[in-house]
Amino acid sequence: MFKALRRLFGLFALLAVIFGALKTIFEWLDQNELDSAEIFEDEEHAL
């Protein structure tokens, strides 16, 4: 029983680390000035 709880806690910890890393990566990409995620930026400047 204790071994199963320990594995379940380890699984949740691993998922938390993975989601934290993904969140950090997406926040870094959002702050990066070189990405071309702004699709409508050039069209608004043309108007």
Q: Where are the domains of the chain?
A: 1-29
> What pLDDT does residue 17 have?
98
pLDDT category at 3 given cuts 50, 70, 90 is very high
> What pLDDT does residue 35 have?
53
CB 27 within 8 A of CB 21: no
8-46: pLDDT as tens digits: 999 999 999 999 999 999 888 877 665 555 566 555 555
N-term to C-term CA, the chain: 66
> What pLDDT does residue 31 have?
77
